[in-house]
Chain A
């Protein structure tokens, strides 16, 4: 399921800045009557509901951990265990070996890393051109970019599969990397950001100084675009890491990405529930770590991409 955060024009805030900090301060200090949405302090009911929602979000992951640290008998007892058991590292080690997760992790890192890098680079280049450069056909091309978001990439899997075996990339990582080297959503995201964040005067000044376009891109655009690039990198990385349909078709179990390797665990010959959960936990850990460190930025980026201007 490739549900990218498609966007409407953003309201020109640095994606890394939390939304409310960048709001005009006037609005926050103004005395408001009850009823103005944001100014309301949450009451106990709202907190209670939020805590329930948070538990619902986190419980399956917590339980993965509980199951991954138990053995099979403990997992299947009634009532089910709610506290972690002693077998975590033993199970992680077993899952690592049984499901070829070591190779899968390396593969996923390569795939997600390369895709995220190239998406960010090409999205920034194209976003800059669409936001700040004048050229014939600009609007039509931009409409095309937006139109391509509506084409689900999976629908071409049959010919893609044929193409990849013709190119000699059957079961190889390039088969997974190439089709997703660029993203329309990324282009649009960068365009919205640069249109707001990059002053025209800076580009003009570069021109006057005789810098050519690439030079302007390198010395003027990149520094300005950096926060948005970081966010786009993370979001793209998450999507590439979790992408399933095409990698599942393009790769086999000797050379899988993490989600593909995880199907191995459920495919029946590992019937050990705690091992399956250990594998699921392993496959999720890298992204969870990223979320714990950069959660605020990722949230900001997704919200940034959604605002209708």
Chain B
């Protein structure tokens, strides 16, 4: 008897430990790796940015306080890179998301071969930055690139895509647009398919045209996904690096063109750390990028709060909802 009782006790002890402890053990790997390789480096970046550290002697850290930040603030290249990152971000994100919305709308029809169209739209996403940038760099080649040849066909002069600031930024943006439009379109499509059909019925009963339905039913229905893709694309745009690097073909890549005409913050970070060997300054650029992102989202939230109307402002919905 006592023996049986003992085994029973032991079992309950182990059982309790298992029920209590196992969940923590299951989620632990994620948090451990994240803490070690993402969170700690982020904080440590801030610490390094207050020091002078050279790539060749990384264990020698000389405290300089906010000197790096002051230097960055007074550095023209920083403002140039900031402006480039912003313009590249806008030029690559806005058309990308608008086109994705249109493409999603098309894919939302009943189609023959819908799987084929979806896979085809997603194919660029499977192409690495490296490969995509190489191909586009070649298409945008000044002397024998296909783009200039096409321009010539319609009687326009060839464009010097690499040296002209706006042309270069447009070319680089087109790489980003090509790679990500289909991916975003699929996210929108998934959200569109989740919009209840009843809402469309109700809208049709109310006499809404197709366009009105798109505006009054589809867009509100996928609003959260749209916000979400804006967030993702913004994060992506701040970190633009591979496209301009490869577009510059060699030494011009890191500096973002001979006159830094398309140098992004990511490139500047790399240049400071791994070309000028100033890790402290590179960390300063990284931290500035982070602060910039935070700032963008704070502004975005504020704008959204101002722009969002109460849900009652959607007349279309007033007659639906009995599913």
Contact A184 B30 (CB under 8 A): yes
Contact B128 A262 (CB under 8 A): yes
Q: Is B39 an interface residue (CB 8 A)?
A: yes
Please measure, in the bound complex, the distance between the C-alpha atom of A27 and the C-alpha atom of B205, giving whole angstroms: 17
- B245 proximity list for chain A (CB < 8 A): 248, 263
How many residues in B have their beta carbons less than 8 Å from beta carbons of A? 120
Within 8 A of A (CB), among B117-143: 117-139, 143
With both chains docked as a complex, state the minimum distance between the C-beta of A143 and any C-beta of chain B, in angstroms: 13
Which of B135, B187, B204, B249 is within 8 Å of A33, CB to CB? Answer: B204
- A138 proximity list for chain B (CB < 8 A): 23
- A5 proximity list for chain B (CB < 8 A): 183, 187
- A248 proximity list for chain B (CB < 8 A): 241-242, 245
Contact B120 A303 (CB under 8 A): no
Please measure, in the bound complex, the distance between the C-alpha atom of A146 and the C-alpha atom of B87, giving whole angstroms: 29
Classify the secondary structure of A's interface with B: helix
Contact A291 B225 (CB under 8 A): no
Most chain A beta-carbon contacts within 10 A, residue among B109, B222, B231: B109
Classify the secondary structure of B's interface with A: helix
Please measure, in the bound complex, the distance between the C-alpha atom of A241 and the C-alpha atom of B131, giving whole angstroms: 12
- Which of A56-64, A86-94, A224-232 lies at the interface? A56-64
Contact A244 B186 (CB under 8 A): no
With both chains docked as a complex, state the minimum distance between the C-beta of B284 and any C-beta of chain A, in angstroms: 9
Contact B240 A1 (CB under 8 A): yes
- A178 proximity list for chain B (CB < 8 A): 33, 37
Contact A36 B204 (CB under 8 A): yes
Q: Is A198 an interface residue (CB 8 A)?
A: no
Instruction: Type the 1/0 row for A180-224, where 1 means its CB is closer than 8 Å to any CB of B.
Output: 111010010000000000000000000000101110010000000
Contact B41 A57 (CB under 8 A): no
Please measure, in the bound complex, the distance between the C-alpha atom of A58 and the C-alpha atom of B134, giving whole angstroms: 15
With both chains docked as a complex, state the minimum distance between the C-beta of B293 and any C-beta of chain A, in angstroms: 7
Instruction: Type the 1/0 row for A16-57, where 1 means its CB is closer than 8 Å to any CB of B.
Output: 001110010001001011111111111000110110011011
Contact B134 A265 (CB under 8 A): yes
Contact size range, A = 35 or more
Q: Is B192 an interface residue (CB 8 A)?
A: yes
Beta-carbon nearest neighbor of B146 in chain A: A80
- B115 proximity list for chain A (CB < 8 A): 18, 295-296, 299
Enumerate the 9 nearest inter-chain pairs by beta-carbon distance, A residue then B residue, closest first.
A156-B41, A268-B250, A262-B130, A213-B22, A295-B119, A35-B204, A303-B190, A42-B109, A129-B26
Beta-carbon nearest neighbor of A273 in chain B: B138
Q: Is B38 an interface residue (CB 8 A)?
A: yes
Which of A3, A54, A75 is within 8 Å of B144, CB to CB? Answer: A75
Contact B42 A58 (CB under 8 A): no
Contact B48 A35 (CB under 8 A): no
- A6 proximity list for chain B (CB < 8 A): 228, 231-232
- B240 proximity list for chain A (CB < 8 A): 1
Which of B30, B134, B136, B287 is within 8 Å of A262, CB to CB? Answer: B134
Beta-carbon nearest neighbor of B18 in chain A: A212
With both chains docked as a complex, state the minimum distance between the C-beta of A275 and any C-beta of chain B, in angstroms: 11
Please measure, in the bound complex, the distance between the C-alpha atom of A34 and the C-alpha atom of B130, giving whole angstroms: 45
Q: Is A148 an interface residue (CB 8 A)?
A: yes
